[in-house]
Amino acid sequence: MARTGVVFRPIIPKKPNVSAIPGRFRRTANKIADDLQEELEAPTLKWKHRVKFAKYIRYGYPKTILIRVTTTDEVYGYQDQGTKAHMVKPKRAKALAWTSKAGSRLFSKGHRVRGVKAQHWTNKAKRKYQPRIKRLADELMEDVARDL
């Protein structure tokens, strides 16, 4: 008598490469931080002095990426946040000196200046990159879930 039957073999999925997740997460965050730094450096490219920026990236698995690009450059801060009208006095000399638009030399023992209008470079970059960071983090999580 012949035997007939059905053999069931389980489908065993491949083990996910969980160790690759932090690396992909870091590469994505580093790319965003580099782009953000370029965005913040752009207004300073024609300045006489070079503004130095520092990147700080913190990962809070699985949902958080903190990307901070900072500078301690005073001039950048004044341009970015603006200044109020204030008095300017000489520190090391007896008087301030400058050349007028007409070409004549002017001197002052102190005078009031209007201040600097805020450029808001950091706020603009934050508004531009925050949705991008969220979207890239979501895409990364979807890719990871697909690979599992």
Residues 30/120, Cβ–Cβ less than 8 Å: no
Report strand pairing: 111-113 vs 86-88.
antiparallel
Give me the pLDDT at residue 62, please: 58
pTM of the full predicted structure?
0.68
Give me the pLDDT at residue 89, please: 93
| 75-126 pLDDT tens trace | 999 999 999 999 999 999 999 999 999 999 999 999 999 999 999 999 999 8
Tokens 């007939």 sit on residue = 4
Give me the pLDDT at residue 24, please: 75
Tell me the pLDDT band of 148, cut-offs 50, 70 and 90.
low
Alpha helix segments (H runs only) across the chain: 20-41, 74-81, 121-147
Residues 44/122, Cβ–Cβ less than 8 Å: no
Give me the pLDDT at residue 116, please: 92
Q: Residue 5: pLDDT above 70?
A: no
Cis peptide before 43 (omega within 30 of 0): no
Give the residue, 80 or 17, on which the prediction is more confident.
80
